[in-house]
Structure 1
Amino acid sequence: MSRKHRIWYPGAKYHITSRGNRRAAIFYDDFDHQAYLEILEEVRNYFPFQLHSYCLMTNHLHLQIETIHHHPKEIMKMLNSQYAMHFNKRHHLVGHVFQGRYGAEIIETAEYFLEVSRYIHLNPVEANMVKNPHDYTWSSYSAYISNDLNPHITTSKILSHFPEPQKESYRKYVEGADAPSKHHS
């Protein structure tokens, strides 16, 4: 039985997830998190894409990406395999790091695009790792609500859906579950 083909077209947006094999940790420490982000940038040199938000949890990760010219399977194959090689070598392990195929849910509406970003940024709060999403180091949230620069992400598309002051409006949307007052496609 063959796997269902994933929908793809240039400019398609996705909520990507990858989980550790048997739900095991895929990040042991800050060095692993940083290595993942460095590998992500190397992969982006081969297969350009926009990263709108991310959250690297202990045993799984979330990426909100927008493709340009490459199917996410090319991006994720290289990203997951390169990171798995790093992880296994660094921790003297063998075998699978990730559990099965990555998840890729296509994002087709502006509302869902914003909901995915909020969901990703609230993930550490929902997991009771932090009380406030800006307290979690390994997500893109602080770049959305402060002047912290994050070279891995593009905030403009998501923030364009919010009234001025955009960063404060986005913070209220994420932390207070307010709906944005203006929507663009």
Structure 2
Amino acid sequence: MRGNNRSDIYNDPEDKYHLMRCIYHTYTHYSFTIVAFCIMSNHFHILMKSEEDLSKIMKLINRRYSDYYSKRYSHVGRIYQRRYYSKLVINPNVQLIVSRYIHRNPIETRIPLVANLQDYPHSSFPFYVDPYSEPPPYMDTSLLFQFLPVSFEKTIEGYSTYCLQEFGVDELEELSEWMMEMK
């Protein structure tokens, strides 16, 4: 989801935490599992598994956040650029690449938001790095590491190491192909 005209709609930590509350509220109504997410200032990404109708899940998340935003900022009109878009990710290798793309968003910007990826609090990555952190009930940090290439230990630590590495040329091509299919 992206802000209308690429405008910031997650202006401060409170806005980002409120989006997380919207996701939790939606989780109490629909069954889904999130394996990766990242909330930036003008958009967010979610890698989600669900047997439920995705449009109902996203409608509730976005409606609740839109209502909150309109009330907090006395905003009239749309806050989102367009309806969310989604793409099915069946290939486990693409799941890994997409999750790393999501997690690397805060450091892959023109001006990185943090020096260390694990320091960005509005992402699921800290739940993968800190073994003592407790992810929200809708998150599952045990799904992705089973798909890691043989060069990585198939553990949550191995997944964290995988995310910290920059993309290889082959991975960028695979991600690019997958993203082009979305448009």
TM-score (norm 2): 0.82
> SS where residue 82 of structure 2 aligns?
coil
Task: Please list every run of 5 or more consecutive structure 2 residues that lacks an aligned counterpart in the other structure.
Answer: 169-183
Quote how far apart the aligned CAs of 1:51 are.
0.7
Which residue identity does 2:106 align to in structure 1?
P
Q: Whose strand fraction is larger, Structure 1's or Structure 2's? A: 1
Quote how far apart the aligned CAs of 1:142 are.
0.9
Looking at structure 2, the residues matched to 24 and 176 of structure 1 have their Cα atoms a distance apart, in angstroms, of: 30
> SS where residue 86 of structure 2 aligns?
strand
Q: Is 1:99 aligned to 2:81, yes or no?
A: yes
Alignment of 1:80-99 (within 5 A): 80-99=62-81
How big is the alpha-carbon RMSD for the aligned residues of Structure 1 and Structure 2? 1.7
Q: Does the CA-based 8 Å contact 1:51-1:154 persist in structure 2?
A: yes
Which of 135, 140, 145 aligns to 2:129? It is 145
Quote how far apart the aligned CAs of 1:93 are.
1.1
Q: 1:178 to 1:167 in 2, by over 3 A?
A: farther
> SS where residue 34 of structure 1 aligns?
helix
Q: Is 1:157 aligned to 2:143, yes or no?
A: yes
> SS where residue 46 of structure 1 aligns?
coil
Quote how far apart the aligned CAs of 1:168 are.
2.4
Which residue identity does 1:19 align to in structure 2?
R
Which residue identity does 1:95 align to in structure 2?
G
Looking at structure 1, the residues matched to 160 and 83 of structure 2 have their Cα atoms a distance apart, in angstroms, of: 32
Quote how far apart the aligned CAs of 1:164 are.
4.5
Q: Does the CA-based 8 Å contact 1:172-1:178 persist in structure 2?
A: no
Looking at structure 2, the residues matched to 131 and 101 of structure 1 have their Cα atoms a distance apart, in angstroms, of: 32
Q: Percent of counterpart pairs with the same letter?
A: 30
Quote how far apart the aligned CAs of 1:160 are.
2.7
Looking at structure 1, the residues matched to 20 and 125 of structure 2 have their Cα atoms a distance apart, in angstroms, of: 15
Q: Does the CA-based 8 Å contact 1:146-1:167 persist in structure 2?
A: no
Q: Whose helix fraction is larger, Structure 1's or Structure 2's? A: 2
Count how many residue pairs are aligned between Structure 1 and Structure 2: 161
> SS where residue 103 of structure 1 aligns?
coil
